[in-house]
Chains A and B, each alone.
Chain A
């Protein structure tokens, strides 16, 4: 369905399965979007006040949820506009049913000051589809040498801090960053990669890398940094979040840390929940990502981590790269995979159809949990409640479709999913009551 840019009107979503994990609601009902807000919600048949001029969307058999939130995307602007722009990135997000995304700062120049945070907000507002929040760089130029002006960026609206694309190598700098994040009440998101263990690495260290003659990138590189950070954060108690968890070992570290009361969390991406390093056979650069695809045991450990709540947020790590860049030889090609437009179906395949979790839990991992991670839940994003923002996604859980990368709204096509038959799709989405899908 083509996104409509018409002015906000009154919309009634009728007869859908309303799932709001924040309040525990899971019942058939109606919801009225008006003036950018949720004007009314009812699970009693015919209880809504009638509105003659309202658009009515029949949602019988569909799931109506808070707008989906992706806390980890790369929109590439400024500096990487041949891969993606903020406008094409939010178009991809909208097509995937996401009403809010949080973009990473590894642009060129990188988002390490308030002016660039404001720039992203302006571009996103001009695009007018999915809401965009910014994760600012924690250190100047993401170099890990000197603190970035995090307080100024926070004042400009940055919701999180990270040097994503790189981990913060120095333990001492990590301490400073966590202390600053704690004082600002913002989450720190770590790209966990101990660099001395990944030099020359192009894919998971293991039998496939050995066979192909490609440099290995061991799981311990991720685990080491997470272990260290949990230790550093012990006395600081900042909110510490591990991005794109790829290793079962990391899941175990997070499980223990959470049980011990540490303020830590972790996210998983669709590719790490579905694919293994076998996907790199034939030197397929679409299977090259950072962190790399790992073993079947890691995939199973990640799914178990999602099922028991150790991993409580899902993110795509949408990382567009041009076809030319991905046409280089495997070691030279850039790391990354796009994900926004097929994420929901892939999560459903990995987690719901496999029986690991149910739809209500999946919705929580894509709505209220990322909202809390980003500290935006107080605005009402991530939940469905009367008077809250009219950010809503409608999902057809039974819709079977085929992923066609040629149809992507994203500028880039880099993923190994072309031609996959999947089930489950967002069929409508609203931001502040305005339809974006």
Chain B
């Protein structure tokens, strides 16, 4: 009997244990990456096993992406898999082929997993319902971006000294929440792990209905005044102001003044408050250089590295659970 297909589509509904398992695996892979970069260690990737050797992973990116796409590619190749890339332009989707048909076509070629990025909310679920191979959501419209949440949780866990340290912490997510899949996935993850979330931005981008996003261990509050929301915050996730979505006139030209992480606001934060941003950043809009490039408080670059680790963890989890243990013992040993 074949076991049920494993997909990774959303954070909503994941148990705390499952979330913890993925975050811990991410941190182990991150340690391996650090070891490879560290000349003190007599180890690098050329010596690594190839647990996903022979697997082909289709990166189906129907919406523009730099870091997520490259990150999945690096992750897959570090694990020994080969990747094929499909983007909206230069594929049949530009000829009007539906998402389901594109997925069916890739699956028919026998790929071992499909990583999908689409502008359609629910698009990853649609692909997963269509094909028999595992599907990973790399961002579907405004719905979810679950691997981003895993990496963000890993970054925060590392900073605070353990996943359990997130219980009772307050995390501000600032920006265009209504249009953000990153904010949704992060909110589901944080509240599942016991952190409280403040969603912050102008009422046009942070409608009150967001307070009902989830009902897990942590609470969700909607805030329309950044300075008040930052008071008592333990960590801050700044979101990119999606200028391409601002066409509806929902963003006034005083956005930076009221919702940007300006040098003044940044200087008022405790020196222990980490600043995360999923990128790409609009410098001078939602975040200024002082915060974005800060040596100890900005985690923007660390997020990119953790992103590769998170995608390795998810790929391993879905594609090779049987060899996970031997791979994990290696990561333990190297650490």
Contacts and interface: CB of A to CB of B under 8 A. Distances in A.
A212 B144 CA distance: 8
Interface string B90-128: 000000001110000000000000000010111101100
A209 to B, nearest CB: 8
Given A282-B125, A283-B125, A213 B207 contact: no
Contacts of A210: 178, 207, 209-210, 212-213
A175 to B, nearest CB: 29
Interface string A181-208: 0000000000000000001100001110
Interface stretch (A60-68, A298-306, A326-334, A394-402): A326-334
Contact of B181 (A205, A213, A282): A213
A211 interface: yes
Interface string A35-65: 0000000000000000000000000000000
B248 A207 contact: no
A213 B144 contact: yes
A214 interface: yes
A327 B144 CA distance: 20
A213 B121 contact: yes
A406 to B, nearest CB: 19
Interface in A255-284: 282-283
B69 interface: no
Nearest to B99: A329
Give the dominant DSSP class at A's interface.
loop
A76 B207 CA distance: 38
B141 interface: yes
Nearest to B184: A213
Contacts of B141: 213-214, 329, 331
Nearest to A199: B248
Given A199-B248, A327-B100, A329-B126, A207 B212 contact: yes
A330 B123 CA distance: 8
A292 to B, nearest CB: 14
B12 interface: yes
Contacts of B213: 207, 210-211
B6 interface: no
Nearest to A205: B209
Contacts of A212: 121-122, 143
A199 B248 CA distance: 10
A358 B57 CA distance: 60
A327 B12 contact: no
Interface residues of B, number: 26
B50 interface: no
Most chain B CB within a 10 A radius of its CB, from A199, A212, A332 = A212
B209 A331 contact: no
Most chain B CB within a 10 A radius of its CB, from A211, A214, A327, A328 = A211
B169 interface: no
Contacts of A207: 209, 212-213
B142 interface: yes
A329 B144 contact: no
A283 B248 contact: no
A286 to B, nearest CB: 13
Contacts of A324: 98
A213 B209 CA distance: 12
Contacts of A205: 209
A283 B209 contact: no
B224 to A, nearest CB: 16
Interface in A209-242: 209-214
Contacts of A199: 248
Interface string A297-332: 000000000000000000000000000100111111
A331 B12 contact: no
Contacts of B121: 212-214, 283, 329-331
A147 to B, nearest CB: 32
Nearest to A280: B122
A235 B120 CA distance: 46
Contacts of B118: 329
A203 to B, nearest CB: 10
Contact of A206 (B144, B209, B214): B209
B144 A283 contact: no
Contacts of B214: 211
Nearest to A196: B248
Nearest to B211: A207
A329 B123 CA distance: 6
A92 to B, nearest CB: 27
Interface in B245-273: 248
A211 B12 contact: yes
A328 B213 CA distance: 25
A328 B209 contact: no
Contacts of B178: 210
B100 A213 contact: no
B92 to A, nearest CB: 15
A206 B208 CA distance: 9
Contact of A328 (B98, B144, B210, B248): B98
A295 B113 CA distance: 38
Most chain A CB within a 10 A radius of its CB, from B99, B120, B143 = B120
Nearest to B177: A210
Given A213-B121, A214-B142, A328 B12 contact: no
Given A212-B122, A213-B142, A214-B121, 10 more contacts: A210-B213, A213-B184, A214-B141, A214-B142, A283-B121, A327-B98, A327-B100, A328-B99, A330-B121, A331-B121
A-B pairs with the 4 shortest C-beta distances?
A: A213-B142, A283-B122, A329-B120, A213-B143
Interface of A: 199-200, 205-207, 209-214, 282-283, 324, 327-332
12 contacts: A209-B209, A210-B207, A213-B142, A213-B181, A214-B122, A327-B98, A328-B98, A329-B120, A329-B122, A330-B120, A331-B120, A331-B122
